[in-house]
A = this chain, B = another copy of it.
Amino acid sequence: MYDRIKGFRDFYPEEMAAHREVIDTVEETARNYGFREIATPAMEPTEMYVDKSGEEIVEELYSFEDKGGRDVALTPELTPTVARMVVAKQQELPKPIKWFSTRPFWRYEEPQQGRFREFYQTNIDVFGSSDPSADAEVMAVAVDVLTDLGLTSDDFDFRVSHRDILSGLLESFEADVDVQDAIRAVDKRAKIDEEEYMDLLTDAGLNYGQADNFDEMLHTDADELGTLAEMTGSDDVAAAVENLEAVLSAAEDFGVREYCTVSLTTARGLDYYTGVVFECFDSTGEVSRSVFGGGRYDDLIEGFGGQPTPAVGFAPGVMNSTLPLLLQRAGVWPAEELSTDYYLLQVGDTRSVAARIARDLRESGHVVETDVAGRSFGAQMGYADSINAETVVIVGEQDLENDEVTVKDMESGDQTTAPVDEFPGDRERPTYDDFA
């Protein structure tokens, strides 16, 4: 007997049925906004990740040398891959490019609440528009995904921030600040104590007074963002605030502004974000890790050798991830059970009739099972029950002598007979009620 690998999971049918419903909902939301499905390799050259994130990233990668001597890595995220794909067909693709895909990714990290070494994300991205309405559309998809899954604004905090406001504020100090380090400190803020946070900011180049001042500015209310530009006198901050307000105005048009909380203490850890960033949390904090995040990353495609191409996107984790935990916490996780429209129960040698009926019902798109194990009446009825069959059609030798079958409603237990030639007949979905 073999064990599965640590950090990996098997999904049996009941659990998978719930996950499939979640994935279908997420994908349908993306499709309805005109995002188009793509499919991508599970493996890329390791250097693609090293070039983007530095040599340290290798520690988190499933990387190895393949039998042809290539240094390859299992994809830990989709962004570098889609960047590569955009660059490869940059001229021919109509803009904006709107793509989605659902697939597993792999990272060699220590498993914890909602984190596995294999996890599934739906990546949703727009390439080729720097317009604030592109940011807002991505945010609208993100919020719609959450509400389409049954969550309400009480269940989640959707925090919106802007990288250029953070960097503009940092650069407005008379200090030699490592902006990326300081932003990483902001990203860690909620997970560390205040002293450690202040140390990180001073390590990044601010003095304590500046760090304190900076942190205070991060708590500016949404309707007073304009004061940040005044206080700092920074054109960069003014432009970034204007951009954030334009995105929020578009979000208003798109019907999702009410879900958004401006929160400059939200920073997102990854270095490649360049504009609006957002992050979703469980409002109760019971799911302690971020549910998902996203934002604008305008420089990545150029960094991959392409024409300058603005980009914005996000990636909810749909399996082995925190989103399912939030749905469970909020009581909107889909039922983990099988559903079956019909079970054709054979008594005696009635397979050909049962098969004909099963075939007709399947042609109407129904889920139909029949006995393929030569089992007894009781065993078949137990099985039909275990797969939650709604209707059992009993095809018995004696009934057939009268050209009849028995139709049993499994919820009520009621049953009646129906003419075999009229089952299903012209009926799309015949049930007990049609013959009772």
Contact = CB atoms under 8 A, between A and B. Distances in A.
Interface of A is mostly: mixed
Nearest to A312: B372
Interface string A297-311: 000000011100000
A106 interface: yes
A17 B16 CA distance: 24
Given A2-B45, A5-B72, A64-B64, 20 more contacts: A1-B84, A5-B44, A10-B39, A10-B81, A12-B93, A13-B38, A13-B99, A19-B39, A33-B369, A34-B340, A34-B387, A43-B118, A68-B108, A94-B382, A94-B383, A95-B373, A95-B383, A126-B372, A128-B373, A254-B359
B253 A1 contact: no
A129 interface: yes
Contacts of A393: none
Given A66-B108, A351-B253, A374 B36 contact: no
Contacts of A128: 373
Closest 4 CB pairs of A and B: A34-B369, A13-B36, A64-B64, A1-B305
A20 B37 CA distance: 8
B37 A17 contact: yes
A57 to B, nearest CB: 13
Interface in A346-376: 351-352, 355-356, 359, 362, 365-369, 371-374
A292 interface: no
Interface stretch (A130-138, A189-197, A423-431): A130-138
Contact of A85 (B10, B34, B368): B10
Interface string A323-363: 00000000000000010100000000001100110010010
A6 B6 CA distance: 29
A400 interface: no
A118 B42 contact: yes
Contacts of A13: 36-38, 99
B355 A254 contact: yes
A32 B372 contact: no
Given A36-B13, A38-B11, A319-B39, A304 B372 contact: no
A4 B131 contact: no
Contact of A5 (B70, B94, B374): B70
A133 B355 CA distance: 10
A241 interface: no
Contacts of A383: 94-95
Contacts of A2: 44-45, 47-48, 80, 84, 304-305
